[in-house]
């Protein structure tokens, strides 16, 4: 089958012919219609995550998939051939920018029927991340105030919509070009991080969802009320700032979950959550998508269309 692979760390992505994944009893084989790229892919490609995520070459890229079930493992009970599904597979079974992908049953959900495979492929990794940060780790409640950094990115565009659905008051950071986008998604307050200092404008927040790390994360502690919470998917509180400010700190790496993805699918079906796609690429253009996401300027998601 055709797949977007790297043949060594640091190499550019190329399309190669690789063996189709072999069915496992707890998994389904998906004919992939679309996938998407994420900043973590470039970290894997560069070899930064060698210890955490050991890989073998040629390594097929991609952690998001939307497609159709074509084979079903003998232990699988909830899915059948022909089902339209989407997923963020676990890292050991990743490799979704390819004609076929193997996904465990408990990491799968039925794709919402009101969106395309391209739109569905833009959701799993970032949608699960936003949900886990705001709902599971941050325990965001109706009426609370939340700051979501980088509201115009893949994670941020979904996080704003989820926070508004919960009934929170949402502030977000972005730059001038993206102010209309984040306002359309429901942001109540928009801070242009190039001209304004969020830590001087915002105060008494219940929750900050940080995806920048570094100084941005450290300054974010200042805007929290006592007992508030900072959830980061990028940094660690190495200076003990949470204790100094009397707040809770949570850092995590997102995890696959078919059940949570089904909840997100429900919100998409109701029209509460909308996929935000910046650009769609062909599998041959995968490296271009990685160059663009590396720039840090993507507005929503970059999708790879595999089967029209």
Binding of ligand NAP by 35 (CB under 6 A) = no
Candidates 62, 124, 138, 156; binder of ligand NAP (CB under 6 A) is: 156
**3-class SS of residue 1:** coil
Binding of ligand NAP by 253 (CB under 6 A) = yes
Binding of ligand NAP by 277 (CB under 6 A) = no
Instruction: Output the DSSP codes for 118-187.
Output: HHHHTSHHHHHHHHIIIIIIT---TT-EEEESSTTSHHHHHHHHHHHHHT-EEEEEE-GGGHHHHHHTT-
Stretch of 14-22, 50-58, 87-95, 170-178 lying at the interface with ligand NAP (CB under 6 A): 170-178
Give the shortest CB-131-to-ligand NAP separation in angstroms: 11
Distance of alpha carbon 169 from alpha carbon 141, whole angstroms: 10
Strand order in the sheet with 2-6: 14-17, 2-6, 59-60
Binding of ligand NAP by 292 (CB under 6 A) = no
Give the shortest CB-118-to-ligand NAP separation in angstroms: 16
Give the shortest CB-82-to-ligand NAP separation in angstroms: 31
Candidates 60, 173, 257, 305; binder of ligand NAP (CB under 6 A) is: 173
Binding of ligand NAP by 171 (CB under 6 A) = no
Candidates 92, 215, 296, 307; binder of ligand NAP (CB under 6 A) is: 296
Candidates 36, 116, 144, 178; binder of ligand NAP (CB under 6 A) is: 178
**3-class SS of residue 96:** coil
- Per-residue x/- mask for ligand NAP, residues 208 to 227, rule CB under 6 A? ---xx---x-----------
Long-range CB contacts (within 8 A, 24+) of 13-22: 13/45, 13/61, 13/286, 13/287, 13/290, 14/287, 15/283, 15/284, 15/286, 16/58, 18/58, 18/60, 18/98, 20/99, 20/100, 21/93, 21/95, 21/100, 21/101, 21/102, 22/102
Candidates 183, 189, 222, 234; binder of ligand NAP (CB under 6 A) is: 234
CA distances from 219 to 70, 175, 208, 210, 215 (A): 49, 18, 11, 11, 6
Candidates 35, 66, 129, 305; binder of ligand NAP (CB under 6 A) is: 129
Binding of ligand NAP by 233 (CB under 6 A) = yes
Candidates 144, 152, 161, 257; binder of ligand NAP (CB under 6 A) is: 152
Length reported for the chain: 308
Binding residues (CB under 6 A) for ligand NAP: these are 38-40, 126, 129, 149-150, 152-156, 173-175, 177-178, 193, 211-212, 216, 233-234, 253-254, 293, 296-299
């Amino acid at each position: 089958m055709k797949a977007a692979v790297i043949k060594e760390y640091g190499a550019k992505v190329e399309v190669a012919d690789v063996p189709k994944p072999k069915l496992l009893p707890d998994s389904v084989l998906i004919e992939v219609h679309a996938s998407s790229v994420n900043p973590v892919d470039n970290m894997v490609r560069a070899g930064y995550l060698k210890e955490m995520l050991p890989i073998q070459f040629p390594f097929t890229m991609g952690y998001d998939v939307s497609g159709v079930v074509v084979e079903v493992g003998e232990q699988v009970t909830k899915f059948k051939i022909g089902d339209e599904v989407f997923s963020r597979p676990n890292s050991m079974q990743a490799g979704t920018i390819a004609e076929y992908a193997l996904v465990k049953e408990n990491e799968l959900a039925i794709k919402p029927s009101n969106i395309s495979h391209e739109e569905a492929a833009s959701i799993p990794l970032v949608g699960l991340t936003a949900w886990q940060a705001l709902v599971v780790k941050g325990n965001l409640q109706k009426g609370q105030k939340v700051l979501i950094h980088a509201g115009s990115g893949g994670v941020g565009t979904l996080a704003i919509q989820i926070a508004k659905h919960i009934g929170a008051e949402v502030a977000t950071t972005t730059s001038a070009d993206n102010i209309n986008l984040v306002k359309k998604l429901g942001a109540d307050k928009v801070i242009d991080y190039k001209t304004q200092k969020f830590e001087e404008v915002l105060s008494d927040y219940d929750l900050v969802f940080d995806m920048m790390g570094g100084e941005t994360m450290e300054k974010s502690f200042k805007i929290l009320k006592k007992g508030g919470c900072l959830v980061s998917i990028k940094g660690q509180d190495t200076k003990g700032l949470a204790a100094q400010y009397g707040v809770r700190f949570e850092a995590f790496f997102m995890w696959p979950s078919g059940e949570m993805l089904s909840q997100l699918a429900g919100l998409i079906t109701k029209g509460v959550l909308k996929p935000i796609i910046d650009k769609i690429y062909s599998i041959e253009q995968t490296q271009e998508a990685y160059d663009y996401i590396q720039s840090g300027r993507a507005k929503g998601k970059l999708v790879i269309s595999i089967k029209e």
